[in-house]
Each structure stands twice: as structure tokens, then as C-alpha cells.
Amino acid sequence: MVNTDDTTKNNVPRINKRPLVANTPALRFAQLVLKHKAELSFHLTKMEPILNKSVQNLKQLVQKIAAGLAGINAVMGGNFRKRFLELSFDILHNEGQRMMMAGSCERVWKEDSDLLASLEELEAEKEKAQKEWEMARKKLRILRVRKKNAIRCVEVLKAYLEEVREKQQGTI
């Protein structure tokens, strides 16, 4: 079906604009830059929600690990390293006084040192996740600035090319 009246499918009046005649290197370059900036802004717009979700996930991970460590510190009554060492020595002293079987002191010490090592790994994981979160936030800020600049460049180039087209239509 051919539309024969002066409206488009959406009942928007047709504008009889001739295409821009890119007869100079500057106009051809402006068209090329416009195309590339439009593609860049499209890709950056698609990437932003993905990176935003990544930043949110990393933030939640950092918060969960921090909450876990804070809970452990609260249960232990402050500095958990110092508290673990105090508890280990108390347990070793008590078990030694009760004359437990040989090897029980080593078992207690090994269990406590393993637990302390796993808590330190958890702290290291928190620091690593926090660094990743900061880097992701920085990337997101850079992405937003690049997107804003690309969109602004597209607007300026579009306005320039529209102005040139209008001048060409007026002179032709």
C-alpha cells in the first residue's frame, strides 16, 4: 500500500527536505563524526545499566562482608585477633590443667589459628571487593561523562548539518 497523501503513517506532516549535499571535506567529515558519535552514545547507553548493576552488586557484597565482620567483632567484644589469642591461651591453659590427652592443645591451637586465618581471608576479600567497587564506580562516572559528551557532540553536529542543509535548500 502506497501512502499518497501528505502525511506519514503516524499522521505527521511530511517535510520535503532534500538530503544534505556533502560537497566539501568538512561536511563529509562532520557526517562521519556524527555517525560515529551516535554509535558511541548508543553503545554507552546500553552499557550504563550493566555497569550500574555491577556497581550495585559489588556494593552489596562489600556491605555483607562488612556486616559479617562487624558481627564477629561485636560477638568477640572488639578486636577479634586479640580476643582469639586470649581465648586460645585460656583454652590451652584450662585443657593443660585438666591433663587432657596429648595433642589436644595442638588441636585447639590449630582450630583457632585456622579460624583466625579464615577471618583474615574474609577481611582481605572485603578489601579486594571494596577496591573493585571503587574501580567500578570510577568506570561508571567516566562512562556517564563520555556518554554526555557524545550526546552533546551529536546534538551540535546535527544542528550544524541541519543549518547547512537549510542553507543549501535556500540556495538551490
9 lies in a domain? Answer: no
Q: What is the pLDDT of residue 97?
A: 55
Q: What is the pTM of this model?
A: 0.65
The cell for 172 is 538551490
59 lies in a domain? Answer: yes
Long-range contact set of residues 60-64: C-beta below 8 Å, sequence gap at least 24:
61/129, 61/133, 62/126, 62/129, 62/130, 62/133
Identify the band that residue 1 occupies on the pLDDT scale cut at 50, 70 and 90: very low
* 46 or 84, higher pLDDT: 46
Give residue 148's domain range.
Answer: 27-171
- In degrees and rounded to multiples of 5, residue 13 shows phi and psi of -60, 140
Beta bridge partners of 13: 7
Between the alpha carbon of residue 86 and those of residues 8, 124, 133, 137, the distances in Å are: 82, 23, 35, 40
124 lies in a domain? Answer: yes
Identify the band that residue 14 occupies on the pLDDT scale cut at 50, 70 and 90: low
The tally of domains found in the chain comes to 1
Between the alpha carbon of residue 113 and those of residues 51, 69, 76, 107, 164, the distances in Å are: 39, 17, 15, 10, 76
19 lies in a domain? Answer: no
18 lies in a domain? Answer: no
50 lies in a domain? Answer: yes
CATH number at residue 161: 1.10.287
158 lies in a domain? Answer: yes
Calculated CA dihedral for residues 133, 135, 139, 144, nearest 10 degrees = 50
Query: Over the stretch 75-120, which tens digit does the pLDDT of each residue have?
Result: 777 776 677 677 766 766 665 555 555 566 667 667 777 877 888 8
Q: What is the pLDDT of residue 110?
A: 76
- The helix-helix angle for 104-171 and 25-76 (nearest 10°) equals 160
149 lies in a domain? Answer: yes
